[in-house]
Amino acid sequence: MRAKRFKDPWSRPIADLVGPIIDPALARRGFGKSDVILYWEEIVGARIASMSQPIKLQWPPRGRAAATPATLIVRVETGFALELQHLAGIVVERVNAHLGWRCVDRLLLKQGPLEPRPGPRRRNAPPTPEIVKAAAAATGDIADEALRDALTRLGACVLTRSQREDGG
């Protein structure tokens, strides 16, 4: 299957770009595709996703019928385990609906702390006019205007970061 080529790669969601990269690693954990991991919050909702994380799909041993569904193993915060146990049927339905077939038969809950999720990235403050002038002075000898502008922006960001790290 060939990947579709887009003229602007930045117009695609990051999940579409990351999926093919992490699919082999997830396959070792029983996930045929990364959909359940990447779209966990969309599948189960923000409230359940904030208190749980899918760990792996456990398939039955090979001697059984090929159509035997898997067990989805989910790590859940200890205080939320009882509630998720009551919502297990709904979660199984949502996962199966997302995947498009009866892939999961039941949930197996593992209680414990969740892996920390990365927080939103902090936006850097724009460089001050003095820093931009200093960066422009350092790139004044470059004839190509586009290259000079790019190096000025880069130099301004570097100077801003070094000034912030120095505490000034």
**Whole-number pLDDT of residue 122:** 66
For residue 60, tell me if it sits in a domain: yes
- Structurally, how many domains does the chain consist of? 2
Instruction: Tell me the residue range of the domain where 139 lies.
Output: 129-165
Confidence of residue 39 (pLDDT cuts 50, 70, 90): confident
Both 138 and 106 in one domain: the answer is no
**Whole-number pLDDT of residue 93:** 92
Q: What is the maximum alpha-carbon separation in the chain?
A: 73
Both 41 and 80 in one domain: the answer is yes
For residue 118, tell me if it sits in a domain: no
For residue 120, tell me if it sits in a domain: no
Both 95 and 23 in one domain: the answer is yes
CB atoms inside a 10 Å sphere around CB 35: 19
Per-residue pLDDT tens over the stretch 50-73: 899 998 887 777 665 556 788 888
Both 106 and 159 in one domain: the answer is no
Confidence of residue 1 (pLDDT cuts 50, 70, 90): very low
Written in H, E and C, the secondary structure of the chain is CCCCCCCCHHHCCHHHHHHHHHHHHHHCCCCCCCHHHHCHHHHHCHHHHHHEEEEEEECCCCCCCCCCCEEEEEEECHHHHHHHHHCHHHHHHHHHHHHCCCCEEEEEEEECCCCCCCCCCCCCCCCCHHHHHHHHHHCCCCCCHHHHHHHHHHHHHHHHHHHHHCCC
Per-residue pLDDT tens over the stretch 74-116: 999 988 889 999 999 999 999 888 888 888 888 989 998 888 7
Both 97 and 144 in one domain: the answer is no
The domain boundary residue, chosen from 80, 111, 142: 111
Give how far Cα 74 sits from Cα of 97, 101, 153, Å: 18, 19, 46
For residue 124, tell me if it sits in a domain: no
Flag whether pLDDT at 6 surpasses 60.
no
Both 71 and 149 in one domain: the answer is no
Quote the CA–CA distance of 59 and 57 in Å, as a whole number.
6
Both 21 and 102 in one domain: the answer is yes
Tokens of 69: 């569904």
Quote the CA–CA distance of 97 and 167 in Å, as a whole number.
52
**Whole-number pLDDT of residue 75:** 92
Both 86 and 156 in one domain: the answer is no
For residue 78, tell me if it sits in a domain: yes
Is pTM beyond 0.75 here? no
Per-residue pLDDT tens over the stretch 107-165: 989 998 888 766 666 677 788 889 889 888 988 888 888 888 888 888 888 888 877 77
Both 134 and 100 in one domain: the answer is no
